[in-house]
Amino acid sequence: MDSECRKLAFIFIFGVSFFYASFAEKAPHFSFVKPATLAPAVSYFDYIVVGGGTAGCSLAATLSDGATVLLLERGGVPYGNKNVEDIGSFGANLANVSPSSPSQGFVSEDGVLNARARVLGGGSAINAGFYTRAPPEFVAKVGWDYGLVNQSYAWVERKVAFEPPMLQFQTAVKDGLLQAGVQPYNGFTYDHIHGTKFGGTIFDNNGHRHTAADLLEYADPRRATVYLYAVAQKILFSRRELGKPRAYGVIFKDSVGIVHKAFLRPGAANEVILSAGALGSPQLLMLSGVGPATELMLHGIEVVLDQPQVGQGMADNPMNLLFIPSPISVETSLIQAVGITEFGSFIEAASGSSNVRAFMQNLPSAAQMLTSQASQSSDGPNVITTQGDLDTAIEYMHSLLNGTINSGCILEKIAGPRSSGYLHLATVDPNDNPAVRFNYFQDPDDLQRCVMGMETIIKVIESEPFSKFRVPGMTTQALINIVVNFPLNLRPRHFSTALSLEQFCIDTVLSIWHYHGGCQVNKVVDKDYKVLGTVGLRVIDGSTFYDSPGTNPQATVMMLGRYMGQRILAQRR
């Protein structure tokens, strides 16, 4: 009897697998992905997902298993774009500021340069590729089901996660971390564990990037529709259920400005779901009339729901770094080795001139700003070092910009963080970036952890395993001077910037593109990610987070799309 049951079970599983495999489509050859110019004027779906990023792709693919799904993405596809797909072009991808670029730059009100994705696959198409799961305490804190979380991570990893090659520079960083006391060594793992490890990557062994768009290989092409260059203008609401506004559709424009409307099919389970990211989701809620009433009225937006918490709790993990010119050649690598410290700072590294330049972010204006700094007198506000140190720094930076020097960088990112700010509308045009302030180091604990992280980086650089990548005679202070005198951000420099690690952290802070918040749980959405005070509307992406999970959030955001997609379908069924 048991044998017969096992046989029937095998036949059933094989049959189901064969059935779905017969309809699955492989990236990049998706028949259901098309430009929004081909969209009808009016269409109907069970679910409308706004934002084809790290959460949106996995969410839409999952929902298509049991319902019709429309996924709206404001950018194009990542496929066939060398800057996106090639690990060596990471810097060129971020530096591309054209209107069609996958990366849309912005500057926060803190004076820190940043970027948001504008491409199918979202941040996974423009980031440094590090793949790591959230720590168990994060999962427990948000109240997710461990079993379903692990299944959802595994689902993602079958398509986009790889073990990186452990080459010389990254190995030296690993050994330096261990000598600096970031113990124990945990080897290669996707898990977030205190100590030093090699994490996963979304770049395969050929240096080819795999993005969240690849997760659409799981989608049922008969039920899924993806429109590209589709910019959502607003969510449509009616007031039909217990006085609460009910989302029933989305207005979007295609690349030539034609307006289209997508409506939900009749049915209580059908929903609009925002997965537009920490900037896009709160922005679209506000443009649709859900947000702080005073601000909405200021912009002439009809108030659907006064929700003052929309756009609040915006946080960005501050990053600080040191550049290291190398006397020997270095491999092209992005984040692989990582030190997860007990005090809440993560130490990571990248190498290769192109990738190091990517962390500078503002290359087009760097040389001009650098020249301006160099022309100041020795007692000017931005000249922190001696003229000799400044000349050395300028020579190094010009060599780095011209790609004529071997180099790496070691950076630290603050966990959390505890400091937070807010987002508000700059204009009512959804193509424009909203204004955002992150209030870096507002909490003194963040600043203390940055100092401890920089002290750890210095120990790694001065360690014996890392010595072969150090230029003889170049001191750690000289490396600090390089960063101090490079125009990495728009923040002022002080006389003490090169002498005080506290001031160094404040003045030279960068973004590592892990910003989150704006639609947080129990403030804007409930624990099922339904927007409070509305019906038929959810937000499922990093805007719901209070903390950035692990050393990189992308694995968890992709997992979240799968996780919630399964839960939504289970409730539907």
Task: Tell me which residue has tokens 């289970």.
Answer: 570
What pLDDT is stored for residue 490 in this prediction? 87
Chain segment 8-17, per-residue pLDDT in tens: 444 444 444 4
| Cβ pair 130, 199 in contact under 8 A | yes
pLDDT at 397: 52
Predicted confidence band of residue 357 (pLDDT cuts 50, 70, 90):
low
Binding residues for FAD: 73-74, 119, 513-514, 542, 553-554
69: β partners: 47, 224
Q: What is the mean pLDDT of residues 333-338?
A: 94
Q: Give the span between the Cα atoms of 377 and 368, in whole angstroms.
A: 17
CA distance 557 to 539: 12
Nearest to 509 by CA among 396, 429, 413: 413
With a cut of 80, say whether residue 393 has pLDDT above it.
no
* Span 225-252, pLDDT tens digits: 999 999 999 999 998 767 899 999 999 9
pLDDT tens digits for range 109-121: 999 989 999 999 9
CA–CA distance, 358 with 409 (Å, rounded to integer): 11
C-alpha distances (whole Å) from 150 to each of 134, 139, 191, 484 are 10, 10, 11, 43
CA distance linking residue 534 with residue 554, whole number of Å: 28
Say if residues 224 and 71 touch (Cβ distance below 8 Å): yes
Q: Which of 192, 210, 424, 514 is catalytic?
A: 514
494: annotated active-site residue: no
What DSSP letter does each residue of 309-320 carry, written as one string? TTTEEEB--EEE
- Type of residue at 45: F
Instruction: Check pLDDT > 70 for residue 355.
Output: no
Pick the residue with more confidence: 502 or 408? 502
Kindly list the strands in the beta sheet with 69-72, ordered across the sheet, starting from the edge strand earlier in the chain.
33-35, 224-228, 69-72, 47-50, 271-274, 537-539
> Among 219-228, 374-383, 535-544, where is mean pLDDT lowest?
374-383
Mean pLDDT of 553-562: 98
Which residues are known binding-site members?
73-74, 119, 513-514, 542, 553-554
CA separation for the pair 148, 177 (Å, rounded): 34
β partners of residue 325: 407
The whole-angstrom separation of Cα 171 and Cα 540 is 37
Contact by Cβ (8 Å): 99, 520? no
Structure tokens at 423: 């987002």
Q: Does residue 321 surpass a pLDDT of 70? A: yes
Return the amino acid letter for 214: D
Average pLDDT over residues 494-507: 94
Q: What's the mean per-residue pLDDT of the chain? A: 89
| Full strand arrangement of the beta sheet holding 42-45 | 42-45, 259-264, 244-253, 231-241
Residue-level pLDDT at 99: 84
Whether the predicted pLDDT of 89 surpasses 90: no
Could you check whether the bond before residue 417 is cis, i.e. omega within 30 degrees of 0? Answer: yes
Say what the alpha-carbon torsion angle 20, 72, 551, 101 is, to the nearest 10 degrees. 120
Nearest partner of 345 among 440, 199, 448, judged by Cα: 448
Side-chain-side CA neighbours of 550 within 13 Å: the count stands at: 24
The two structure tokens encoding residue 51: 């934002």
> CB count, 10 Å around CB of 205?
10
What pLDDT shows up at residue 356? 65
Distance between CA atoms of 3 and 266, rounded to whole angstroms? Answer: 45
Least confident of 228-242, 280-294, 501-515: 228-242
Beta strands per DSSP E along 292-356: 305-306, 312-314, 318-325, 337-340, 345-351
How far apart are the C-alpha atoms of 9 and 3, rounded to whole Å? 10
Tokens of 292: 């702080």
- Say yes or no to pLDDT of 377 above 80: no
**The pair of three-digit structure tokens given for residue 296, joined into one six-digit string:** 């909405």
For residue 362, name the pLDDT band (cuts at 50, 70, 90): very low
pLDDT confidence of 198, banded at 50, 70, 90?
Answer: very high
- With contact defined as beta carbons under 8 Å apart, do 192 and 551 qualify? yes
